[in-house]
Structure 1
Amino acid sequence: MIAERLQAVEAEIEAAKKRRARVSKDASVTLIAVTKNHDVTAMREAIDAGIEEIGENRIQEAKEKFGTLERNVKWHLIGHLQTNKARVAVALFDLIHSVDSEHLARAIDKEAGKIGKRQDVLVQVNLAKEESKSGIYKEDLRSLLDVVDALPNLHLAGLMCIAPNYDDVEKCRPLFREMYEIFLKTKEIPFHDANIKYLSMGMSHDYAIAVEEGANLVRVGTAIFGPRQY
């Protein structure tokens, strides 16, 4: 069943790429399978069906799975990260999507330095200014980007956003469109060391629109695994 759902999601991503009007139809999209509240057996099934990148929201859950998965994949932290969990996050994750403050950036940099790692990170933007979501506001983005770029043990690789959970998913489109414009402008900034290549946006309910509007990382859980196991 997971393999069938995965095939359907991949087909929808390809269809969405063909519908692009403002973005290259050939630009690649990486699918991150979000495994929050799904067990290692389900994760293995998805990986064996072709998934190469997985996303986790919670540090403790990821830590427990990391030692028993027995599969070689790229690990993404897509949930909010508390500074006191930075040490574990740096040890586990290849890419941290959710840097949203200078305080957090410095904590990650410090822990990465301790183990001799350059930690790839994205800066999370709260474009809709939702109080319930993490992320820096658009008007404060540049200053945080400059901080992250200057930290020696961080490598700034792009941006992430989460759209509001609208009943009418088309309402996400203007936000994704604006986020893509911010992404393009960010790519033009003459950073010291950053390589702005990732725009992480889109989840199970809105990933097709996100792809149409320029996402190149999408974070999909329920559409692959079915309802979460609580």
Structure 2
Amino acid sequence: MSINREAYWEIRKELGVEITLVAVSKTKPVSTILALYSEGQRDFGENYVQELTEKQQQLPADVRWHFIGHLQSNKVKYIISFVYLIHGVDSLRLLKEIDRQAAKAGRVVDVLLQVHIAREETKYGFDAGELEQVMETVRGAADEWAHVRIRGLMGMASNTDDVSAVSAEFRGLKVLLDRWFPADGILSMGMSGDYQLAVKEGSTMVRIGSLLFGSRG
């Protein structure tokens, strides 16, 4: 399995220095990840805890590991010592567990709150009202959340060819980001099929896999 170097550098050029490219390396072997690492890529995203922990032990220490899947509270302890950014925090319970495990590890862990912007009910995340409750809970008692730092928002658009609908979903998420993180919030939105739309609507971090590594078999 090889990487698409030409596509990688085209995307890097397109994104510039302001937008972070997270290479989605789930199911990809260590050798393939190393090939992209050798091109200068440092941010990699994984969806499964066991796969992430195994890869982390085999790859260079300066890799910035992003957990981008649905994280169960009982699995937090396995990645808390090294994870760079947790994208999909979708409940207050999970946020509390990240804070608790980070305290044990002596770390402050950066996270993004996942907002449900898609039409599919199968996708996770807060709605606007729930997001407000979480933000007010955390900001109202900052000393109780000393080991977790909410850096911004993450969302996944509907799986549709309707460009205007996808753009509207991304636009709505940007509105929420500007409300809660008006200065320097991270906005993780956009994947291989829609990252260009996401960038137009204000994304600061995109999660791309198949364009870099090819489709999963």
TM-score (norm 2): 0.91
d(CA) in 1 for partners of 2:187, 2:138 = 16
| CA distance in structure 2 between the partners assigned to 1:2 and 1:69 by the alignment | 20
Distance 2:162 2:63 in 1: 34
Within-5 A mapping of 1:25-174: 28-70=18-60, 72-128=62-118, 130-149=120-139, 150=142, 151-174=145-168
Aligned pair 1:9/2:11, yes or no? yes
1:65 aligned counterpart, secondary structure: helix
8 Å Cα contact 1:105-1:148 kept in structure 2: no
What are the ranges of 5 or more consecutive residues in structure 2 without an aligned counterpart?
A: none
Partner of 1:191: none
List, as ranges, runs of 4+ consecutive aligned residues in structure 1 with deviation greater than 4 Å.
Answer: none
Task: Give aligned-pair identity as a percent.
Answer: 38
Structure 2: distance between partners of 1:175 and 1:7: 28
Distance 2:60 2:181 in 1: 36
Correspondence for 1:218: 206
1:146 offset after TM fit, Å? Answer: 2.9
Q: Deviations over 1:46-85 (max 9, x none)?
A: 1111212111111111011111123521111111100000
Deviations, residues 91-130 of structure 1 (Å, cap 9, x unaligned): 2311111111111111111111111111111100002353
TM-score by length of 1: 0.86
Amino acid at match of 1:181: V
* Amino acid aligned to 2:166: C
Specify whether residues 158 and 38 from structure 1 end up closer, same or farther in structure 2 by C-alpha distance, changes over 3 A only.
same
